[in-house]
Amino acid sequence: MIRVVVVDDQELVRAGFCALLDADPGIELVGEAGDGLSAVELVRSHRTDVVLMDIRMPGMNGIEATRLIRAMPDPPEVLILTTFDTDENAFDALAAGAAGFLVKDTPPVQLLQAIQAADSGGAVISPATTRRLVDHLVAARMQRDRPVPAGLETLTEREREVLALVARGCSNREIATRLRIAELTTKTHVSRILTKLGLDSRVQAAALAYQTGLVKPGD
């Protein structure tokens, strides 16, 4: 028997999950809670294998509750079930120790399979979330493996600061004001940057700053 706790602040939602679990002969419903703190106390007082955890709840949210539960000796696995399928929620949940991240409209059969998988030590993530996480990992890998153009590593810390401001569209006067240096000194820095990088213009320098990740869109 897989011992399961259901945590959700909406009574109707909890009732639906509990009815589904009660109908499965391989699952024992240990109890239910309407907030994170009650969930932590329930798990501490009852032997539990898997916790179905909502995120947005009054008082302690599901992420913090997951973190506390996973810090217990011999903790149960936690499956996050949420309406808010965002990258931030997914990353926070997995970082807190959750074994899975699913949306609440997951079909009943798949939810039961997810509980079994979590109890067996597996990880379960909804397909849409998995795709986004993979995209993030690929983007991070590409950024990490991107070769550094010849000369970029020779820039001084000050020259990198100047290059970053050039990429943000700052004029020499604006750069001088921000860095509290003379405008002539700024011109010298820009000239040296172009020479070291083998570039012909500030536009090329700005493009290179974005391509190498020195400056990111939105910075």
**What values do phi and psi take at 205, rounded to 5?**
-65, -40
What's the CATH number of domain 152-211, 1.10.10.10, 1.10.30.50, 1.10.238.10, 2.40.50.140? Answer: 1.10.10.10
Q: pLDDT by residue (tens digit) across 87-135?
A: 778 888 888 888 888 888 889 999 999 999 888 887 787 766 666 665 5
Q: Encoding tokens for residue 54?
A: 């909502």
What's the CATH number of domain 2-138, 3.30.590.20, 3.30.1780.10, 3.40.50.2300, 3.40.50.11140? Answer: 3.40.50.2300
Position with higher pLDDT, 144 vs 190? 190
Predicted TM-score (pTM) of the model is 0.61
CA distance 46 to 44: 6
Q: Encoding tokens for residue 22?
A: 């009660």
Hey, is 199 helix, strand or coil? Answer: coil
For the chain, where do the domains classified as CATH 3.40.50.2300 start and end? 2-138
**What values do phi and psi take at 164, rounded to 5?**
-60, -40
**What values do phi and psi take at 106, rounded to 5?**
-60, 130
CA distance 136 to 42: 35
* pLDDT computed for residue 168 by the predictor: 83
Q: Encoding tokens for residue 44?
A: 């501490």
Edge-first strand order for the sheet with 124-125 is 27-33, 2-7, 50-53, 77-82, 100-103, 124-125
For the chain, where do the domains classified as CATH 1.10.10.10 start and end? 152-211
CA distance 6 to 32: 5
CA distance 34 to 42: 11
Q: pLDDT by residue (tens digit) across 65-81?
A: 999 999 999 899 999 99
Q: pLDDT by residue (tens digit) across 27-37?
A: 999 999 999 99
